[in-house]
Protein backbone atom coordinates (compact mmCIF):
# COMPACT_ATOMS: atom_id res chain seq x y z
CA UNK A 1 0.00 0.00 0.00
CA UNK A 2 1.40 3.38 -1.02
CA UNK A 3 1.05 6.61 0.92
CA UNK A 4 1.83 8.79 -2.10
CA UNK A 5 -1.58 8.82 -3.74
CA UNK A 6 -4.69 10.67 -2.59
CA UNK A 7 -7.67 8.67 -1.36
CA UNK A 8 -11.34 9.62 -1.14
CA UNK A 9 -14.47 8.08 0.39
CA UNK A 10 -17.85 8.92 1.84
CA UNK A 11 -17.38 9.02 5.62
CA UNK A 12 -21.06 8.89 6.62
CA UNK A 13 -23.58 6.02 6.29
CA UNK A 14 -25.56 5.78 3.05
CA UNK A 15 -29.21 6.77 2.91
CA UNK A 16 -31.40 9.81 3.47
CA UNK A 17 -30.03 12.21 6.08
CA UNK A 18 -29.60 15.91 6.72
CA UNK A 19 -25.88 15.94 5.92
CA UNK A 20 -23.17 13.74 4.46
CA UNK A 21 -19.36 14.03 4.55
CA UNK A 22 -16.90 13.13 1.79
CA UNK A 23 -13.27 12.87 2.85
CA UNK A 24 -9.99 13.34 0.95
CA UNK A 25 -6.51 12.60 2.25
CA UNK A 26 -3.13 12.77 0.55
CA UNK A 27 -0.50 14.91 -1.11
CA UNK A 28 -2.88 16.14 -3.84
CA UNK A 29 -5.96 16.60 -1.64
CA UNK A 30 -5.98 20.41 -1.92
CA UNK A 31 -5.28 20.42 -5.65
CA UNK A 32 -8.00 17.86 -6.35
CA UNK A 33 -10.49 19.87 -4.27
CA UNK A 34 -9.57 22.97 -6.30
CA UNK A 35 -10.68 21.25 -9.50
CA UNK A 36 -14.29 20.92 -8.40
CA UNK A 37 -14.89 23.39 -5.52
CA UNK A 38 -15.86 26.96 -6.36
CA UNK A 39 -15.99 29.31 -3.35
CA UNK A 40 -18.97 31.59 -2.89
CA UNK A 41 -19.14 34.80 -0.89
CA UNK A 42 -16.53 37.46 -0.19
CA UNK A 43 -14.46 35.60 2.42
CA UNK A 44 -14.39 32.06 1.01
CA UNK A 45 -11.32 30.90 -0.92
CA UNK A 46 -10.25 27.80 -2.82
CA UNK A 47 -8.92 24.84 -0.84
CA UNK A 48 -5.29 25.47 -1.79
CA UNK A 49 -5.47 29.05 -0.51
CA UNK A 50 -7.36 28.26 2.71
CA UNK A 51 -5.58 28.34 6.08
CA UNK A 52 -5.54 25.10 8.02
CA UNK A 53 -8.58 24.22 10.10
CA UNK A 54 -10.97 26.60 8.35
CA UNK A 55 -14.35 26.16 6.68
CA UNK A 56 -15.02 27.49 3.21
CA UNK A 57 -18.50 27.96 1.75
CA UNK A 58 -19.17 27.24 -1.91
CA UNK A 59 -20.37 24.75 -4.51
CA UNK A 60 -19.13 21.52 -6.06
CA UNK A 61 -19.20 21.38 -9.85
CA UNK A 62 -18.94 18.37 -12.16
CA UNK A 63 -18.20 19.13 -15.81
CA UNK A 64 -19.50 22.65 -15.35
CA UNK A 65 -22.75 21.53 -13.70
CA UNK A 66 -23.34 22.52 -10.08
CA UNK A 67 -23.91 19.46 -7.90
CA UNK A 68 -24.48 20.84 -4.42
CA UNK A 69 -23.98 23.66 -1.95
CA UNK A 70 -21.25 22.60 0.51
CA UNK A 71 -18.94 23.50 3.35
CA UNK A 72 -15.32 22.53 2.71
CA UNK A 73 -12.98 21.94 5.68
CA UNK A 74 -9.23 22.19 5.17
CA UNK A 75 -6.79 20.49 7.57
CA UNK A 76 -3.19 20.78 6.50
CA UNK A 77 -0.47 18.27 7.35
CA UNK A 78 0.58 17.31 9.91
CA UNK A 79 -2.36 18.64 11.96
CA UNK A 80 -4.95 16.18 10.66
CA UNK A 81 -6.25 12.71 11.41
CA UNK A 82 -3.93 11.09 8.87
CA UNK A 83 -1.04 13.57 9.22
CA UNK A 84 -1.56 14.33 5.53
CA UNK A 85 -3.46 17.17 3.90
CA UNK A 86 -7.13 16.40 4.50
CA UNK A 87 -10.23 17.93 2.94
CA UNK A 88 -13.71 17.13 4.21
CA UNK A 89 -16.71 18.22 2.15
CA UNK A 90 -20.03 18.47 3.99
CA UNK A 91 -22.94 18.28 1.57
CA UNK A 92 -26.64 17.53 1.75
CA UNK A 93 -27.52 13.99 2.72
CA UNK A 94 -29.43 11.63 0.51
CA UNK A 95 -28.75 8.99 -2.08
CA UNK A 96 -27.09 11.15 -4.75
CA UNK A 97 -25.21 14.27 -3.49
CA UNK A 98 -22.37 12.52 -1.65
CA UNK A 99 -22.07 9.80 -4.28
CA UNK A 100 -21.80 12.30 -7.13
CA UNK A 101 -19.28 14.44 -5.23
CA UNK A 102 -17.17 11.33 -4.60
CA UNK A 103 -17.40 10.46 -8.28
CA UNK A 104 -16.18 13.98 -9.15
CA UNK A 105 -13.19 13.67 -6.79
CA UNK A 106 -12.26 10.32 -8.34
CA UNK A 107 -12.45 11.83 -11.82
CA UNK A 108 -10.20 14.65 -10.61
CA UNK A 109 -7.35 12.36 -9.56
CA UNK A 110 -8.22 10.67 -6.27
CA UNK A 111 -8.67 6.95 -5.89
CA UNK A 112 -11.28 5.12 -3.83
CA UNK A 113 -10.11 4.43 -0.29
CA UNK A 114 -9.97 0.86 0.96
CA UNK A 115 -11.72 -0.14 4.20
CA UNK A 116 -10.00 1.54 7.14
CA UNK A 117 -7.38 3.22 4.95
CA UNK A 118 -7.67 6.64 6.57
CA UNK A 119 -7.03 5.11 10.00
CA UNK A 120 -4.29 2.90 8.56
CA UNK A 121 -2.52 6.00 7.26
CA UNK A 122 -2.84 7.58 10.71
CA UNK A 123 -1.08 4.50 12.11
CA UNK A 124 1.60 4.25 9.41
CA UNK A 125 2.44 7.95 9.72
CA UNK A 126 2.80 7.73 13.50
CA UNK A 127 -0.22 9.65 14.71
CA UNK A 128 -1.61 6.66 16.59
CA UNK A 129 -0.35 3.17 17.38
CA UNK A 130 -2.11 -0.06 16.44
CA UNK A 131 -4.00 -0.44 19.71
CA UNK A 132 -5.34 3.09 19.32
CA UNK A 133 -6.28 2.38 15.70
CA UNK A 134 -8.35 -0.59 16.86
CA UNK A 135 -10.00 1.68 19.42
CA UNK A 136 -11.35 3.79 16.54
CA UNK A 137 -13.30 0.76 15.32
CA UNK A 138 -14.42 -0.04 18.87
CA UNK A 139 -15.63 3.54 19.24
CA UNK A 140 -17.70 3.30 16.06
CA UNK A 141 -19.24 -0.04 17.03
CA UNK A 142 -19.81 0.72 20.74
CA UNK A 143 -23.36 -0.22 21.73
CA UNK A 144 -23.32 0.92 25.36
CA UNK A 145 -21.88 3.80 27.37
CA UNK A 146 -19.39 1.50 29.09
CA UNK A 147 -18.13 0.24 25.73
CA UNK A 148 -17.82 3.84 24.58
CA UNK A 149 -15.80 4.76 27.69
CA UNK A 150 -13.50 1.78 27.24
CA UNK A 151 -12.89 2.64 23.57
CA UNK A 152 -12.11 6.25 24.46
CA UNK A 153 -9.63 5.14 27.14
CA UNK A 154 -7.84 2.92 24.62
CA UNK A 155 -7.89 5.67 21.99
CA UNK A 156 -6.33 8.01 24.55
CA UNK A 157 -3.43 5.54 24.83
CA UNK A 158 -4.05 4.06 28.29
CA UNK A 159 -3.48 0.46 27.16
CA UNK A 160 -0.60 1.50 24.91
CA UNK A 161 1.16 3.16 27.86
CA UNK A 162 0.98 -0.08 29.85
CA UNK A 163 2.21 -2.19 26.93
CA UNK A 164 5.04 0.20 26.03
CA UNK A 165 6.23 0.30 29.65
CA UNK A 166 6.23 -3.51 29.72
CA UNK A 167 8.07 -3.69 26.43
CA UNK A 168 10.70 -1.22 27.64
CA UNK A 169 11.34 -3.39 30.72
CA UNK A 170 11.68 -6.50 28.56
CA UNK A 171 13.97 -4.68 26.12
CA UNK A 172 16.25 -3.63 28.97
CA UNK A 173 16.40 -7.23 30.18
CA UNK A 174 17.20 -8.40 26.65
CA UNK A 175 19.95 -5.80 26.27
CA UNK A 176 21.44 -6.94 29.59
CA UNK A 177 21.50 -10.59 28.49
CA UNK A 178 22.87 -9.83 25.03
CA UNK A 179 25.67 -7.76 26.55
CA UNK A 180 26.80 -10.86 28.46
CA UNK A 181 26.52 -12.99 25.31
CA UNK A 182 28.83 -10.55 23.54
CA UNK A 183 31.33 -10.79 26.42
CA UNK A 184 31.19 -14.48 27.41
CA UNK A 185 34.12 -14.20 29.79
CA UNK A 186 32.01 -12.09 32.14
CA UNK A 187 29.25 -14.25 33.60
CA UNK A 188 26.17 -12.59 35.10
CA UNK A 189 26.87 -11.86 38.75
CA UNK A 190 24.48 -13.51 41.25
CA UNK A 191 23.01 -10.18 42.39
CA UNK A 192 22.51 -9.06 38.76
CA UNK A 193 20.84 -12.37 37.96
CA UNK A 194 18.51 -11.93 40.95
CA UNK A 195 17.60 -8.40 39.81
CA UNK A 196 16.96 -9.63 36.27
CA UNK A 197 14.70 -12.41 37.54
CA UNK A 198 12.82 -10.00 39.79
CA UNK A 199 12.23 -7.64 36.86
CA UNK A 200 10.93 -10.46 34.68
CA UNK A 201 8.69 -11.80 37.47
CA UNK A 202 7.17 -8.32 37.81
CA UNK A 203 6.60 -8.17 34.06
CA UNK A 204 4.95 -11.61 34.08
CA UNK A 205 2.66 -10.49 36.91
CA UNK A 206 1.64 -7.34 35.00
CA UNK A 207 0.87 -9.45 31.94
CA UNK A 208 -1.26 -11.76 34.08
CA UNK A 209 -3.22 -8.76 35.39
CA UNK A 210 -3.83 -7.51 31.87
CA UNK A 211 -4.95 -10.97 30.76
CA UNK A 212 -7.55 -10.90 33.54
CA UNK A 213 -9.33 -8.08 31.68
CA UNK A 214 -9.88 -10.17 28.53
CA UNK A 215 -13.37 -11.32 29.56
CA UNK A 216 -14.42 -7.75 30.36
CA UNK A 217 -13.06 -6.64 27.00
CA UNK A 218 -14.99 -9.35 25.18
CA UNK A 219 -18.22 -8.40 26.99
CA UNK A 220 -17.79 -4.69 26.22
CA UNK A 221 -17.02 -5.26 22.54
CA UNK A 222 -19.25 -8.21 21.68
CA UNK A 223 -21.69 -8.50 24.56
CA UNK A 224 -22.80 -11.83 26.01
CA UNK A 225 -25.25 -14.32 24.58
CA UNK A 226 -28.05 -15.26 26.96
CA UNK A 227 -30.32 -18.14 25.95
CA UNK A 228 -33.84 -18.01 27.39
CA UNK A 229 -34.92 -21.62 27.85
CA UNK A 230 -37.75 -23.42 29.56
CA UNK A 231 -40.74 -25.67 29.14
CA UNK A 232 -43.50 -24.56 26.73
CA UNK A 233 -45.73 -21.77 28.07
CA UNK A 234 -43.34 -20.88 30.93
CA UNK A 235 -43.25 -17.27 29.70
CA UNK A 236 -39.99 -17.13 27.76
CA UNK A 237 -41.30 -14.82 25.04
CA UNK A 238 -43.00 -12.61 27.64
CA UNK A 239 -39.69 -12.33 29.48
CA UNK A 240 -37.89 -11.34 26.26
CA UNK A 241 -40.45 -8.60 25.66
CA UNK A 242 -40.04 -7.33 29.24
CA UNK A 243 -36.24 -7.22 28.98
CA UNK A 244 -36.38 -5.42 25.63
CA UNK A 245 -39.16 -3.05 26.67
CA UNK A 246 -41.13 -3.80 23.51
CA UNK A 247 -43.31 -6.52 21.99
CA UNK A 248 -40.76 -8.42 19.94
CA UNK A 249 -42.01 -11.98 20.32
CA UNK A 250 -45.54 -13.30 19.88
CA UNK A 251 -47.08 -14.24 23.23
CA UNK A 252 -49.92 -16.76 23.38
CA UNK A 253 -51.36 -19.12 26.04
CA UNK A 254 -51.06 -21.92 23.47
CA UNK A 255 -47.94 -24.00 24.22
CA UNK A 256 -45.40 -24.20 21.39
CA UNK A 257 -46.12 -20.75 19.89
CA UNK A 258 -42.39 -20.04 19.43
CA UNK A 259 -41.17 -22.25 16.58
CA UNK A 260 -37.86 -20.49 15.80
CA UNK A 261 -35.17 -18.71 17.78
CA UNK A 262 -35.45 -14.93 18.06
CA UNK A 263 -32.33 -12.81 18.76
CA UNK A 264 -32.39 -9.24 20.03
CA UNK A 265 -29.71 -7.09 21.68
CA UNK A 266 -30.42 -4.92 24.71
CA UNK A 267 -28.34 -2.64 26.92
CA UNK A 268 -28.43 -4.26 30.36
CA UNK A 269 -26.73 -2.14 33.01
CA UNK A 270 -24.15 -0.91 30.50
CA UNK A 271 -23.48 -4.23 28.76
CA UNK A 272 -24.80 -5.40 25.38
CA UNK A 273 -26.67 -8.65 25.92
CA UNK A 274 -27.90 -10.75 23.01
CA UNK A 275 -31.07 -12.47 24.21
CA UNK A 276 -32.14 -15.60 22.35
CA UNK A 277 -35.75 -16.63 22.82
CA UNK A 278 -35.92 -20.35 22.14
CA UNK A 279 -38.67 -22.81 21.35
CA UNK A 280 -39.96 -24.81 24.33
CA UNK A 281 -37.83 -27.93 24.66
CA UNK A 282 -40.34 -30.79 24.66
CA UNK A 283 -41.17 -33.81 22.52
CA UNK A 284 -41.75 -32.30 19.06
CA UNK A 285 -45.21 -32.78 17.52
CA UNK A 286 -44.34 -31.95 13.91
CA UNK A 287 -41.31 -31.30 11.67
CA UNK A 288 -41.46 -27.52 12.09
CA UNK A 289 -41.40 -27.75 15.87
CA UNK A 290 -38.62 -30.34 15.66
CA UNK A 291 -36.44 -27.93 13.66
CA UNK A 292 -37.20 -25.14 16.16
CA UNK A 293 -36.07 -27.39 19.02
CA UNK A 294 -32.87 -28.26 17.13
CA UNK A 295 -32.13 -24.55 16.74
CA UNK A 296 -32.89 -23.96 20.41
CA UNK A 297 -30.38 -26.59 21.47
CA UNK A 298 -27.77 -25.07 19.13
CA UNK A 299 -28.40 -21.63 20.68
CA UNK A 300 -28.06 -23.15 24.14
CA UNK A 301 -24.67 -24.61 23.21
CA UNK A 302 -23.43 -21.23 21.93
CA UNK A 303 -24.76 -19.15 24.85
CA UNK A 304 -22.51 -17.87 27.63
CA UNK A 305 -25.39 -17.46 30.10
CA UNK A 306 -28.65 -19.38 30.49
CA UNK A 307 -31.91 -17.83 31.68
CA UNK A 308 -34.00 -20.81 32.76
CA UNK A 309 -37.66 -19.81 33.00
CA UNK A 310 -40.08 -21.88 35.07
CA UNK A 311 -43.81 -21.39 35.66
CA UNK A 312 -44.07 -20.81 39.41
CA UNK A 313 -47.87 -21.16 39.28
CA UNK A 314 -47.59 -24.83 38.26
CA UNK A 315 -46.19 -27.92 40.02
CA UNK A 316 -42.63 -28.98 39.11
CA UNK A 317 -42.29 -29.91 35.44
CA UNK A 318 -40.06 -32.91 34.60
CA UNK A 319 -38.92 -31.05 31.48
CA UNK A 320 -37.16 -28.50 33.69
CA UNK A 321 -35.05 -31.23 35.29
CA UNK A 322 -33.95 -32.33 31.83
CA UNK A 323 -33.01 -28.73 30.98
CA UNK A 324 -30.82 -28.48 34.08
CA UNK A 325 -28.77 -31.39 32.77
CA UNK A 326 -28.59 -29.87 29.25
CA UNK A 327 -27.10 -26.57 30.45
CA UNK A 328 -24.71 -28.10 32.99
CA UNK A 329 -21.46 -26.18 33.20
CA UNK A 330 -22.92 -22.86 32.00
CA UNK A 331 -23.70 -19.90 34.29
CA UNK A 332 -27.45 -20.10 34.90
CA UNK A 333 -30.12 -17.91 36.42
CA UNK A 334 -33.30 -19.69 37.50
CA UNK A 335 -36.31 -17.45 36.86
CA UNK A 336 -39.61 -18.23 38.58
CA UNK A 337 -42.20 -16.51 36.39
CA UNK A 338 -45.90 -15.78 37.04
CA UNK A 339 -45.24 -14.93 40.67
CA UNK A 340 -48.36 -12.74 40.64
CA UNK A 341 -50.33 -16.02 40.77
CA UNK A 342 -50.55 -18.46 43.70
CA UNK A 343 -47.27 -20.36 43.95
CA UNK A 344 -47.13 -24.10 43.39
CA UNK A 345 -43.45 -24.44 42.50
CA UNK A 346 -41.17 -24.71 45.57
CA UNK A 347 -37.94 -22.75 45.71
CA UNK A 348 -34.89 -24.94 44.93
CA UNK A 349 -32.65 -26.20 47.70
CA UNK A 350 -29.52 -25.57 45.60
CA UNK A 351 -28.24 -22.14 46.66
CA UNK A 352 -25.44 -22.10 44.07
CA UNK A 353 -27.83 -21.02 41.31
CA UNK A 354 -29.32 -17.51 41.68
CA UNK A 355 -33.12 -17.51 41.71
CA UNK A 356 -35.12 -14.46 40.64
CA UNK A 357 -38.89 -14.25 41.07
CA UNK A 358 -40.62 -12.24 38.35
CA UNK A 359 -43.99 -11.49 36.88
CA UNK A 360 -43.85 -10.62 33.20
CA UNK A 361 -47.45 -9.45 33.49
CA UNK A 362 -46.76 -6.79 36.16
CA UNK A 363 -43.00 -6.27 35.61
CA UNK A 364 -42.18 -7.35 39.16
CA UNK A 365 -38.59 -8.58 39.56
CA UNK A 366 -37.40 -7.67 36.06
CA UNK A 367 -35.00 -4.99 37.36
CA UNK A 368 -33.65 -7.47 39.91
CA UNK A 369 -33.08 -9.91 37.07
CA UNK A 370 -31.09 -7.28 35.17
CA UNK A 371 -28.89 -6.70 38.24
CA UNK A 372 -28.37 -10.45 38.66
CA UNK A 373 -27.42 -10.83 35.00
CA UNK A 374 -24.99 -7.94 35.26
CA UNK A 375 -23.34 -9.40 38.38
CA UNK A 376 -23.06 -12.81 36.72
CA UNK A 377 -21.38 -11.31 33.64
CA UNK A 378 -19.04 -8.88 35.42
CA UNK A 379 -18.06 -9.80 38.95
CA UNK A 380 -17.22 -6.96 41.31
CA UNK A 381 -17.36 -3.22 40.84
CA UNK A 382 -16.77 -1.75 37.40
CA UNK A 383 -13.66 0.34 37.95
CA UNK A 384 -12.12 2.94 35.67
CA UNK A 385 -8.89 0.91 35.54
CA UNK A 386 -10.80 -2.05 34.09
CA UNK A 387 -12.17 0.08 31.29
CA UNK A 388 -8.73 1.56 30.55
CA UNK A 389 -7.14 -1.79 29.67
CA UNK A 390 -9.99 -4.13 28.72
CA UNK A 391 -8.02 -6.09 26.15
CA UNK A 392 -9.34 -7.62 22.93
CA UNK A 393 -8.96 -11.21 21.72
CA UNK A 394 -5.95 -10.18 19.60
CA UNK A 395 -4.28 -8.50 22.56
CA UNK A 396 -5.05 -11.55 24.70
CA UNK A 397 -3.31 -13.87 22.24
CA UNK A 398 -0.22 -11.64 22.02
CA UNK A 399 -0.04 -11.17 25.80
CA UNK A 400 -0.41 -14.89 26.37
CA UNK A 401 2.51 -15.60 24.03
CA UNK A 402 4.59 -12.87 25.69
CA UNK A 403 3.90 -14.18 29.18
CA UNK A 404 4.60 -17.79 28.19
CA UNK A 405 7.96 -16.76 26.72
CA UNK A 406 8.73 -14.70 29.86
CA UNK A 407 8.01 -17.69 32.11
CA UNK A 408 10.26 -19.86 29.94
CA UNK A 409 12.95 -17.18 30.26
CA UNK A 410 12.68 -17.28 34.05
CA UNK A 411 12.91 -21.06 34.04
CA UNK A 412 16.02 -20.92 31.84
CA UNK A 413 17.68 -18.39 34.16
CA UNK A 414 16.85 -20.36 37.30
CA UNK A 415 18.12 -23.65 35.86
CA UNK A 416 21.33 -22.12 34.49
CA UNK A 417 20.58 -22.76 30.82
CA UNK A 418 22.40 -21.07 27.94
CA UNK A 419 22.08 -17.28 27.68
CA UNK A 420 21.40 -17.74 23.96
CA UNK A 421 18.20 -19.59 24.90
CA UNK A 422 17.31 -16.86 27.41
CA UNK A 423 17.78 -14.18 24.75
CA UNK A 424 15.70 -16.16 22.25
CA UNK A 425 12.73 -16.36 24.64
CA UNK A 426 13.07 -12.66 25.51
CA UNK A 427 12.97 -11.73 21.83
CA UNK A 428 9.75 -13.74 21.45
CA UNK A 429 8.21 -11.87 24.39
CA UNK A 430 9.32 -8.47 23.12
CA UNK A 431 8.01 -9.24 19.63
CA UNK A 432 4.63 -10.35 20.94
CA UNK A 433 4.24 -7.18 22.99
CA UNK A 434 5.26 -5.13 19.97
CA UNK A 435 2.43 -6.69 17.96
CA UNK A 436 -0.13 -5.08 20.26
CA UNK A 437 1.00 -1.52 19.57
CA UNK A 438 2.21 -2.21 16.04
CA UNK A 439 5.96 -2.10 16.60
CA UNK A 440 6.37 -5.56 15.07
CA UNK A 441 3.14 -5.87 13.07
CA UNK A 442 3.24 -7.64 9.72
CA UNK A 443 1.40 -6.56 6.57
CA UNK A 444 -0.90 -9.58 6.90
CA UNK A 445 -1.83 -8.53 10.44
CA UNK A 446 -2.51 -4.96 9.35
CA UNK A 447 -4.62 -6.19 6.43
CA UNK A 448 -6.65 -8.37 8.78
CA UNK A 449 -7.27 -5.54 11.24
CA UNK A 450 -8.09 -2.71 8.86
CA UNK A 451 -10.23 -4.83 6.54
CA UNK A 452 -12.79 -4.90 9.35
CA UNK A 453 -13.17 -1.09 9.26
CA UNK A 454 -15.82 0.65 7.21
CA UNK A 455 -14.81 2.54 4.07
CA UNK A 456 -14.31 6.21 4.90
CA UNK A 457 -12.71 5.59 8.32
Read out DSSP for 27-49?
A: TTHHHHHHHHEEE-SSS---GGG
Q: Say if CB 165 and CB 157 are below 8 A apart.
A: no
Confidence of residue 165 (pLDDT cuts 50, 70, 90): very high
> Is the same domain home to 186 and 309?
no
The share of the chain scoring above pLDDT 70, in percent, equals: 88
> Is the same domain home to 102 and 40?
yes
In this prediction, residue 385 carries a pLDDT of: 57
457 is a domain residue? no
Q: What is the pLDDT averaged over residues 109-117?
A: 94
> Is the same domain home to 234 and 370?
yes
357 is a domain residue? yes
> Is the same domain home to 367 and 406?
no
Q: Say if CB 11 and CB 73 are below 8 A apart.
A: no
> Is the same domain home to 22 and 95?
yes
Low-confidence winner among 33-47, 265-279, 293-307, 380-394 (lowest mean pLDDT): 380-394
Give the domain CATH number at 93: 3.30.1360.120
Q: pLDDT tens digit string along 233-243?
A: 888 888 888 88
97 is a domain residue? yes
In this prediction, residue 73 carries a pLDDT of: 96
Domain count, the chain: 3
The four Cα atoms 201, 214, 445, 162 give a dihedral, to 10 degrees, of -50
In this prediction, residue 13 carries a pLDDT of: 86
> Is the same domain home to 23 and 159?
no
Report which of residues 287 and 397 the model is more confident about: 397
Give the domain CATH number at 422: 1.20.120.430
121 is a domain residue? no
Report CA-CA distances (Å) from 186 to 35, 50, 122, 179, 353.
68, 64, 45, 9, 61
Q: What is the pLDDT averaged over residues 367-388?
A: 73
Low-confidence winner among 207-211, 386-390, 408-412 (lowest mean pLDDT): 386-390
Q: What is the pLDDT averaged over residues 119-127?
A: 94
26 is a domain residue? yes
> Is the same domain home to 102 and 57?
yes
Residue 409 has pLDDT above 90, yes or no: yes
371 is a domain residue? yes
> Is the same domain home to 109 and 12?
yes
Rounded Cα distance between 419 and 222, Å, is: 43
Quick one: CA dihedral 435, 439, 445, 448, positive or negative? positive
Among the three residues 377, 399, 418, which one is the final residue of a domain in this structure? 377
Q: Sheet containing 332-337: which strands, arranged edge to edge?
A: 262-268, 271-277, 224-230, 305-311, 332-337, 355-357
> Is the same domain home to 40 and 179?
no
Among the three residues 334, 351, 377, which one is the final residue of a domain in this structure? 377
DSSP assignment of 315-382 equals PPPHHHHHHHHHTTTS-EEEEEE-TTSPP-SPPPS-TTS-EEE--TTT-TTHHHHHHHHHHHHS-S--
In this prediction, residue 228 carries a pLDDT of: 87
In this prediction, residue 244 carries a pLDDT of: 81
- The residue segments making up the domain with residue 280 are 224-377
439 is a domain residue? yes
> Is the same domain home to 239 and 360?
yes
In this prediction, residue 259 carries a pLDDT of: 44
SS3 label, residue 403:
helix
Residue 173: which of 429, 404, 415, 400 has the closest Cα?
429
Q: pLDDT tens digit string along 206-218?
A: 999 899 888 778 8
324 is a domain residue? yes
The model carries a pTM of: 0.78
Q: What is the pLDDT averaged over residues 153-179?
A: 90
Among the three residues 113, 148, 164, which one is the final residue of a domain in this structure? 113
> Is the same domain home to 165 and 193?
yes
Exposure letters 64-82 (e unless 16+ CB within 10 A, then b): eeebbebebbbbbbeebbb
> Is the same domain home to 17 and 107?
yes
Amino acid sequence: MTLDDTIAAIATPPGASGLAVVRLSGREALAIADKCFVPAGKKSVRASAAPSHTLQYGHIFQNGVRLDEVLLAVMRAPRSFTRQDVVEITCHGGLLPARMILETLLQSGARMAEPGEFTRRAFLLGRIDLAQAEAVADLIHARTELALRAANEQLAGKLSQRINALRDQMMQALAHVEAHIDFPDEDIAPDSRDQLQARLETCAAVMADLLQTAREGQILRQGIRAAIIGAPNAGKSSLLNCLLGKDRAIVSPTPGTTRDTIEETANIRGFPVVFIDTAGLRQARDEIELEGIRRSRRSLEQAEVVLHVCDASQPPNPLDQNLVAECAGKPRILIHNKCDLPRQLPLPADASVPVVEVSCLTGMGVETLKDTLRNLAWSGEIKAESLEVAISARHQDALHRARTATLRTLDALKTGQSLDLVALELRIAVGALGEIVGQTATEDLLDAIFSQFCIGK
